[in-house]
Amino acid sequence: MRRIQVVILLVVIPIAAVLFLTAMSPSPDPKKNTDTVTRPGSELPIFDTHVHYKKEAWTLFSPKEVLELFKRSGVTKALVSSSPDEGTRMLYKLAPDMIVPFLRPYHDDVNSSNWFKKQSILDYFKKRLELPIYKGIGEFHIHNEIDADSPVILETLRLAVKEDLYIHVHTGHEAVEAMFKHEPKIKVLWAHAGMSDPPQVVSAMFDRYKNLWVDISIRENDIAPGGVLSPEWKALFLKHPDRITVGSDTWVNSRWQEYEEIIKFDRGWLAQLPSDVARKIAYDNAGRLFGNGDSGKR
């Protein structure tokens, strides 16, 4: 009998000790987990404000496959302009609640180097805008500051103001300044945050122009080299959290093939920002400008 009691004690005591230590141990703190998969930036919906569904991509991804790619990537809305415009209309037809159409000038022999020299592009804009689905004109290019003074660009700006449309432009800050000088009432989404302009210049432009916003497409590696958010870009985001949007820029097929990785990378640096700032940049700013309000995520 005594032997049985000893055996029981030898079994029960260790078990009791384990249970006691487990109860006294603190619960894991999820805030200490720095894995971007579990941080706020990785859970946010994304409003992609720079998408092109060009003719070259039509055989690579069908419209249905593009929409599935958006869904897999957590992209709930997309601002789309295409060369030719039929690409945008194909996506919009399938998902009018997801796709925000912009009207790009490029078609047939009209391209980024000559569109502003062709008076006929104004008739093209007006004809396409008869279908009342567009939120803006662009993305178009102004390669040289002096071209911002061309009569076609001036008429395009006036048309945008008249129709209450945004302008989506790929250019440097000098041409943006010229555009606002010509037509102060324009509303501009500045593609690639200037492409090569540093964040300090972008910040100064925001200070000068209240109707200026940017998408950060193609700037991913400037913003977060090696995946670590740059202090200079972080300072811009914190100073102007209401003026930044996320974009991918699927200008060539390889960008479509890398799409999920591009969005994942953006989520990585978004996760290094305060959650309210990340939410604005990821979705809410674009939702306020082009969509149906903010993401509703808090």
Mean pLDDT over residues 110-122, rounded? 97
Mean pLDDT over residues 13-38, rounded? 35
Mapped onto helix, strand or coil, the DSSP state of residue 284 is helix
What's the Rg (C-alpha) of the chain? Answer: 25
Lowest average pLDDT, out of 39-43, 93-97, 216-220, 284-288, goes to 39-43
Question: d(Cα 240, Cα 207) in Å, to the nearest integer?
Answer: 9
Mapped onto helix, strand or coil, the DSSP state of residue 190 is strand
Query: Which CATH code, of 3.90.230.10, 3.20.20.140, 3.40.50.970, 3.30.70.260, is assigned to 39-290?
Result: 3.20.20.140
pLDDT digits (tens, 9 = 90+) for 28-74: 332 333 333 334 455 799 999 999 999 999 999 999 999 999 999 99
pLDDT the model gives residue 19: 36
Question: Which residues fall within 8 angstroms of residue 22, CB to CB, at 6 or more apart?
Answer: none
Tokens of 209: 């122009």
Name the residue with tokens 């805008």: 129
Beta bridge partners of 80: 51, 101
Task: Dump strand ranges (E) for 41-184.
Answer: 46-51, 75-80, 99-103, 136-141, 166-170
Q: What DSSP line would sit under 137-152, residue for residue?
A: EEEEE--SGGGGGSHH
Mean pLDDT over residues 134-157, rounded? 97
Question: d(Cα 72, Cα 183) in Å, to the nearest integer?
Answer: 40
SS percent in the chain: helix, strand, coil, step 5: 50, 15, 35
Nearest to 110 by CA among 93, 128, 96, 94: 128
Phi-psi region of 226 (alpha: psi -120 to 50; beta: other; left: phi over 0): left
